[in-house]
Structure 1
Amino acid sequence: MNRRSAVRTLLYIAGGTLVLPACFHESRKATIALANLSVTEADEALLEELVETLVPATDTAGGKELLLHLFVLKMIDDCHSPEDQQAFTKGLATFSSWSQKELGRSFAEAGIDERTALLGKAPDSGDSNLVQFYGLVKRRTIQGYMNSQYVMTNLVKYELVPGRYNGYFPV
């Protein structure tokens, strides 16, 4: 055996044992810095699944791939009033318990058809926190999708301001 390859292998093993615990550690915080909202990893995962249900991945990119849940969190944190932020936090907790009660399991474990049917019932649920939360998330998700780099470069064909010259345009 070559001594250099043995030392290299030993260093790989030592580095792996140092990095491995960090892979399984839950920090209990959101993955982005938020000034006004307090969101846990579980809340962020629920919001990620909700956004993926609103904008599913087909032949185009979906909500998870475009990280729209982070856009929603950042916009609510930066651009909404403290009352809206409190309603968002209450609505997130209400949505989690409501979906658990309606589906019989967590929102993430449900199938896409069940999620879509559940979201169809959300505006008519009668709970003001849930209705306001769903409205905020839906509006910001659509805004984030339509303004994403993927949509603006691949789906929307933008022409500069004067556009093309058309000599046969009727005047």
Structure 2
Amino acid sequence: MITIDRRDALAGIVTMFGASLFAPIARAAGQQVVPISDGPPSAPVFNAEQRALMTALSERVMPTTDTPGAITAGVPGFIEKLLADWASPNDRKPILAGLDTIGARAQADYKVVGSKATPAQHDALLTLAMEDKLPGGADFFEKFRQLVVTGYFTSEVGITQEREYLPVPGRYDGAFPFSQVNKVYSS
């Protein structure tokens, strides 16, 4: 069985996002305590519709392709755990407000609750948020994207299937041919 240290993976995520890292991710990466993924969230963060919409949108940010997507990687649970246990109430506001705004826009534009929109409709709604064409959209999109990417690439699926996991690096080869590189390595 492969043992993955999510905190080590989080440290790599911190360097990827740099100074604009969403506060709960930075807090969790900086702590050397119980891993984020242990156990359920201390309290529910989302109502049922928000949770269903967050789950659907996370799959649109990191969809299933030739590798598993966000849902299979457990990203929705990671997001709720991180927001419940590592985020302040102010940190949660843009995520909750963004989900409510996207849900309202889905109802207005497509006459369905947000979680029941099609993948193409979810893509259109996320694009509106990304382009800041929804109230608070750009702030929501950047923070939500960071949560999804962090959850995915610190999960066992993200580390072992999307990337090549090397628990103990092999020999150093400074002249390794780039044409033989298949995946990005993580350890």
Band the TM-score falls in, shorter-chain normalisation: 0.5 to 0.7
1:48, distance to aligned residue in structure 2 (A): 0.8
| Distance verdict in 2 for CA 1:165–1:79, change over 3 Å | same
**How far apart are residue 126 of structure 1 and its match?**
4.3
- Report the aligned-residue RMSD: 2.6
CA distance in 2, matches of 1:66, 1:118: 23
Aligned to 1:9: none
Q: Give the aligned partner of residue 13 of structure 2.
A: none
1:103 and 1:143 map into 2 onto residues whose CA distance is 30
Counterpart of 2:62?
55
Q: Larger RCO: Structure 1 or Structure 2 (Cα < 8 Å, ≥ 6 residues apart)? A: 2
User: Counterpart of 1:77 in structure 2: which amino acid?
Assistant: A
- After TM superposition, the structure 1 stretch with the greater mean CA deviation from structure 2, 139-148 or 95-104, is 95-104
Which residue of the partner structure matches residue 106 of structure 2? 99
Partner of 1:109: 116
Deviations 1:75-122 (A, max 9, x none): 122222321123332332222112222333223333222221221111
Identify unmatched segments of 5+ residues in structure 2. Answer: 1-39, 177-187
Name which of 78, 89, 96 aligns with 1:89: 96
Q: Does 1:125 align with 2:133?
A: yes
Partners of 2:167 and 2:45 lie apart in 1 by: 42
Q: Structure 1-normalised TM-score?
A: 0.66
Name the larger-Rg structure.
1
Task: Identify the range of structure 1 (155-164 vs 138-147) with the bigger mean alpha-carbon deviation.
Answer: 155-164
Runs of at least 5 residues in structure 1 that lack an aligned partner in the other structure = 1-31
Deviations 1:98-155 (A, max 9, x none): 2222333223333222221221111222412x43332222111011111110121223
Identity of aligned residues (%): 29
User: Do residues 141 (structure 1) and 148 (structure 2) align?
Assistant: yes
Match of residue 43, structure 1, among 45, 50, 53 = 50
Letter in 2 for 1:95: I
CA shift digits 1:25-73 (9 cap, x unpaired) = xxxxxxx4333x5422222111111111111112211122222111111
1:110 counterpart letter in structure 2: A
If the length of structure 2 is used for normalisation, what is the TM-score?
A: 0.61
* CA distance in 2: counterparts of 1:43 and 1:102, whole angstroms: 18
Counterpart of 2:42 in structure 1 is 34
Residue identity opposite 1:102 in structure 2? D
